[in-house]
Amino acid sequence: MRLISFRHADASKFGAVVDGGIVDLSARWPSLRDAIAAKALPSLATSVKGAKPDFALGDVELLPAIPNPDKILCIGLNYASHVGEVGRQLPTVPSVFSRLHNTLVPHGGDIVRPSASTNFDFEGELAVIIGERCRHVPRARALSVIAGYSCFLDVSVRDFQKHSVTAGKNFPATGPLGPWMVTTDVLPDPQQLTLVTRLNGAEVQRDTTDHMIFDVATIIEYLSTVTWLEPGDVIATGTPDGVGLGRKPPLWMKGGDKLEVEISGIGALQVDVVDE
């Protein structure tokens, strides 16, 4: 299934994307996160079979795939090609930072270049959505705790990131997530996906997820050792090379730009860049 979060008639809802429209699934659970926590995805898949859309995609306001995650955890330096382009050493353990909820942006929304920044950078990534409350998950069963996958843009304010990763990754409206979550029955192997980022229609990043230094299972094992993972938690798994910082001269985003990340089997997340 492709499960999408949206707002219609001032009410926040979620549903399944079917035949170019949305089947409303929010009668029993108020959000996709709540449905995931209730382990309701199999029953929702059954209810969607043969159903006709309740809304057209163009008639609703899209929300981030998970609008209200308990945590947004991100992995830095997780492709060797990216580590090389920014002049860092290969990590021996996952490098983790977190994002605030107000950084999230939906498909079709605006990311905001801060007035305090001229070094506004793109990073296309695969996002993992956790499916159950878990701790100390061994790598061998780590994929079983995943509800699904989405596209993520880990936009970086490099002027601030050079002295603080937390600051550079937490300006408002710099973390697009969407357009929807694709469930694991559709995408059973997260290491067999192609990721492409485009800026104003020009390809700036392309790689495959099998090139991750720490694969998804290893990331979940590590993070679940550190803390409890909750249903609906978002894990951004790192970006490949091609970022603006690694280019000569650097390629920074500005107001009016259009940014997209497309991942095979999921779809394309598209946003506009606006100046604060």
d(CA 189, CA 232): 19
Is 140 within the bounds of a domain?
A: yes
170 shares a domain with 101: yes
110 shares a domain with 36: no
106 shares a domain with 154: yes
166 shares a domain with 101: yes
Q: What is the pLDDT of residue 215?
A: 98
51 shares a domain with 89: no
249 shares a domain with 153: yes
168 shares a domain with 123: yes
Q: What is the pLDDT of residue 87?
A: 83
Domain boundary among 22, 43, 62: 62
Mean pLDDT for back-to-back runs of 10 residues, the chain (276 residues): 97 96 95 98 94 96 98 96 88 97 98 97 98 98 98 98 96 98 97 98 98 98 98 98 96 98 98 98
251 shares a domain with 135: yes
Is 259 within the bounds of a domain?
A: yes
36 shares a domain with 164: no
Q: How many domains does the chain have?
A: 2
Q: Helix (H, G, I), strand (E, B), or coil: what is residue 13?
A: strand
CA 231 to chain CA centroid, nearest Å? 15
d(CA 147, CA 66): 11
Is 30 within the bounds of a domain?
A: yes
Classify strands 194-199 and 2-8 as parallel, antiparallel or unpaired: unpaired
d(CA 151, CA 15): 18
Q: What is the pLDDT of residue 118?
A: 96
Is 67 within the bounds of a domain?
A: no
The distance in angstroms from the start CA to the end CA of the chain is 36
Give me the domain span that covers residue 50: 2-62
Is 138 within the bounds of a domain?
A: yes
Q: What is the pLDDT of residue 159?
A: 96
257 shares a domain with 158: yes
Q: What is the pLDDT of residue 86?
A: 85
Tokens of 239: 């970006």
Q: Is 211 left (phi over 0), alpha (psi -120 to 50) or beta?
A: alpha
CATH of the domain at 232: 3.90.850.10
